[in-house]
């Protein structure tokens, strides 16, 4: 069984019918998902991190959203620069990035 240090959930705005039409998707959540994967690979963190696309978190005004466990840290209003900062400070350094925390 895989036991990662971090599990990152990214809202992909899928509703019950499975169609990615929500706010996070319109604001580029698929790019955010891809950026997390790229940052994890570039930083050689693949053994420590799992990234999962999710359905709606129901706080659309804060999207795109990522939740990182085991801490249960919620990040919102994400863009690709935010992902780089979160990867560096949180995933590598263990420090919560207050600027994006919700």
Q: How confident is the model at residue 60 (pLDDT cuts 50, 70, 90)?
A: confident
Between CA 27 and CA 45 the distance in angstroms is: 26
Between CA 102 and CA 98 the distance in angstroms is: 8
- Give the number of C-alpha atoms closer than 13 A to the C-alpha of residue 79, restricted to the C-beta side: 2
Q: List pLDDT tens digits, range 11-50.
A: 987 665 656 567 777 888 889 999 999 999 999 999 999 9
- Tokens standing for residue 73: 């840290």
Beta carbons of 14 and 55 less than 8 angstroms apart: yes
The answer as to CATH 3.30.450.20 being correct for domain 6-100 is no
Domain chopping of the chain, boundaries: 6-100
């Amino acid at each position: 069984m895989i036991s990662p240090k971090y599990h990152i959930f990214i809202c992909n705005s899928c509703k019950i019918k499975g169609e990615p039409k929500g706010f996070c998707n319109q604001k580029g959540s698929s790019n955010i998902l891809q950026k997390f994967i790229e940052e994890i690979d570039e930083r050689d963190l693949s053994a420590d991190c799992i990234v999962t696309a999710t359905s709606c978190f129901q706080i659309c005004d804060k999207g795109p959203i990522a939740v990182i466990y085991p801490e249960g840290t919620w990040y919102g209003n994400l863009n690709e620069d935010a992902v780089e900062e979160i990867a560096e400070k949180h995933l590598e350094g263990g420090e919560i990035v207050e600027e994006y925390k919700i």
